[in-house]
Amino acid sequence: MVARVIPVDPFDLVIFGATGDLARRKILPGLFHRFRVGQMPDDSKIIGAARSKFDTNEFRDLIREAIQEFIAEKDRSDDQVEAFLECLDYVHVDATGDTGWKKLAGLLRENKIRAFYLSVSPSLFGSIAQRLSDTGIATSDSRIVVEKPFGHDLASAQALNADLLRCFDEKQIYRIDHYLGKETVQNLMALRFANSLFEPLWNSTHIDHVQITVAESLGVEGRGEYYDQSGAMRDMVQNHLMQLLCLIAMEPPSRFEPNAVRDEKVKVIEALEPVDPSEIVRGQYYDWNESKGYKEDANNPESRTESYLAMKVAVANWRWAGTPFYLRTGKKLRARLSEIAVVFRDPPHMIFPKMEGRRGNALIIRLQPDEGIKLRTTIKEPGPGGMRLTEVSMDMTFDNALGEDMHTEDAYERLIMDVIRGNQTLFMRGDEVEAAWAWADPIIGAWQESSQKPASYDSGGSGPEESLMLIHKDGRRWRAIGS
Ligand code: NAP
């Protein structure tokens, strides 16, 4: 099956921070993909803007190298790459000074969609927005895209929102959470709201619990000092895991439209109960072979920042009363895995002999690796010998269902095209981000006041022992991370 491509209208996209890691690894290779498949019209313009004093040719050289590094050879030809590079321009801009803004204004065209992607530190969001507004470069229908982290607490998120809203209307602001651009995450919405099969079961009468796991096999990898200011709560839970929880728990929106969807997500966040400290486990990895761990990576022997976090969360509304959501995320775990498991209750009366190790029905929504959705069911073990049960999964993995050649867009590609189309559905609204911080802040505040240290866990393992207890004491168990 070949992915259907609907070209967007021609656009001028300015990428602030175009020489940076994110732009080179994700944004520009993603745009190249969209160009290659014919979605990005060739009369579109991408203007790189950063501090480095490059000219356009030097910038094109940098991006040629990035495409060669980050796009597989089978997915590019030299002609395609050179044609894409023709769309690129560069301007040396100082986000906090006067340099470059006049030149930038001169490069932009009338009557084209105008978008500004701020792939820079959030400390620059306010000054860039202000300069775009003061110079008249931003028009009333321009779009502005901002990267994570969107604040480190409620007050800083409110300040960032205020900075942006001084210059742009909320309907022009696109706050990226790239998890929302993942194919499976959107498929989750299709699964829930385009089928009549699941919705009648989608409540605490039928769902025993939900597990959301985002496990990474890598550690903090040279970003230790930055990460130490943040930790798993700020880096992953307040944003990515919260977004996944919202998509599972939200009520069906009245329409598949940005505000209808985001209204329902905000209601979920506002329905979250404060988390009891006894339902939270924080950990730091340690490698016994190397006699070093998170603290050494963070260059902070006294660090109490968590590289692992597990928690039991309750959504206090009619649909979910009695169905806990268990969240866990961590670094240096056994494998890289992001998935949601919706675990259904057992039948009220079992007529068959007890099956050893039976786990019951579950819908597994896998974001990475092997993106796809599986439904675990119990069937009769084939063959003679009586009525023995076994478990099989109905596999809705994309490679199987749609063919291995189907290139599923990277999350960034999809989200950038949504910006050009002016569709905010997969972007976080200001009040949504603030609601998530209002939930997270008291939890983080309590840690800061407490003298409790994070538990130690083995690098390459499944997280601290205490996190097993968190779910075992409720008579449940985590799904395995890796084999
Ligand atoms: P980075 O590699 O440090 O790049 C920063 C970019 O900002 C560079 O292009 C730099 O230009 C430019 N810049 C810095 N100060 C400037 C100024 N005063 N005026 C104009 N340009 C300036 O950072 P990054 O990793 O790409 O991350 C960018 C943003 O995305 C950050 O907010 C980060 O948190 C977020 N993010 C990154 C990732 C990732 O995987 N990298 C993932 C999620 C979110 P010069 O290099 O030319 O000086």
CATH numeric code, 11-147:
3.40.50.720
Residue ranges matching CATH 3.30.360.10 in the chain: 180-413+429-472
Q: Is 21 in the pocket of ligand 1 (CB under 6 A)?
A: yes
pLDDT class of 322 with cuts at 50, 70, 90: very high
pLDDT at 388 (0 to 100): 85
Closest among 259, 257, 20 to 121, alpha carbons compared:
20
Please answer whether residues 207 and 321 qualify as being in contact, where contact means their C-beta atoms are separated by less than 8 angstroms: no
Q: How far apart are CA 231 and CA 440, in angstroms?
A: 12
Tell me the pLDDT tens digit for each residue of 81-95.
Answer: 999 999 999 999 999
Residue ranges matching CATH 3.40.50.720 in the chain: 11-147
Per-residue pLDDT at 137 exceeds 80: yes
Give the range among 270-284, 399-413, 418-432 with minimum mean pLDDT: 399-413
pLDDT at 400 (0 to 100): 58
Please answer whether residues 284 and 306 qualify as being in contact, where contact means their C-beta atoms are separated by less than 8 angstroms: yes
Nearest CA to ligand 1 atom 5: 20
> Strands 337-344 and 292-293: what pairing?
unpaired
Q: What is the pLDDT averaged over residues 183-197? A: 91
Q: How far apart are CA 232 and CA 458, in angstroms?
A: 17
- DSSP single-letter state for residue 258: H
Q: Which has the higher per-residue pLDDT, 210 or 399?
A: 210
pLDDT at 346 (0 to 100): 92
Q: How far apart are CA 474 and CA 246, in angstroms?
A: 23
Provide CB contacts within 8 A for 225, sequence distance 6+.
Answer: 298, 299, 300
pLDDT at 217 (0 to 100): 97
pLDDT class of 385 with cuts at 50, 70, 90: confident
pLDDT class of 213 with cuts at 50, 70, 90: very high
Q: How far apart are CA 343 and CA 471, in angstroms?
A: 13
pLDDT at 354 (0 to 100): 79
- Is 180-413+429-472 a domain of CATH 3.40.1280.10? no
pLDDT at 1 (0 to 100): 57
Q: What is the pLDDT averaged over residues 274-288? A: 96
Chain centroid to Cα 177, Å, comes to: 5
pLDDT at 410 (0 to 100): 84
Q: Is 94 in the pocket of ligand 1 (CB under 6 A)?
A: yes
- Any catalytic annotation for residue 240? yes
Mean pLDDT, the chain, whole residue set: 94
Distance 21 CA to ligand 1 centre (A): 7
Instruction: Report the residue among 14, 15, 16, 21 best suited for mutation to probe ligand 1: largest number of ligand atoms under 8 A from its CB.
Output: 21
pLDDT at 406 (0 to 100): 52
Which atom of ligand 1 is nearest the CA belonging to 50?
Answer: 21
Q: Which has the higher per-residue pLDDT, 358 or 301?
A: 301
Q: What is the pLDDT averaged over residues 157-167? A: 98
Tell me the pLDDT tens digit for each residue of 74-123.
Answer: 999 999 999 999 999 999 999 999 999 999 999 999 999 999 999 999 99
Residues recorded for the chain: 483
Distance 333 CA to ligand 1 centre (A): 27
Q: What is the pLDDT averaged over residues 309-316? A: 98
Tell me the pLDDT tens digit for each residue of 417-464.
Answer: 999 999 999 999 999 999 999 999 999 999 999 989 999 999 999 999
Give exposure, 325-355, as e/b (b: 16+ Cβ within 10 Å): bbbbbbbbbbeebbbbbbbbeeeeeeeeeee
Q: How far apart are CA 65 and CA 79, in angstroms?
A: 15
Q: What is the pLDDT averaged over residues 156-167? A: 98
pLDDT cut 90: percent of the chain above it: 86
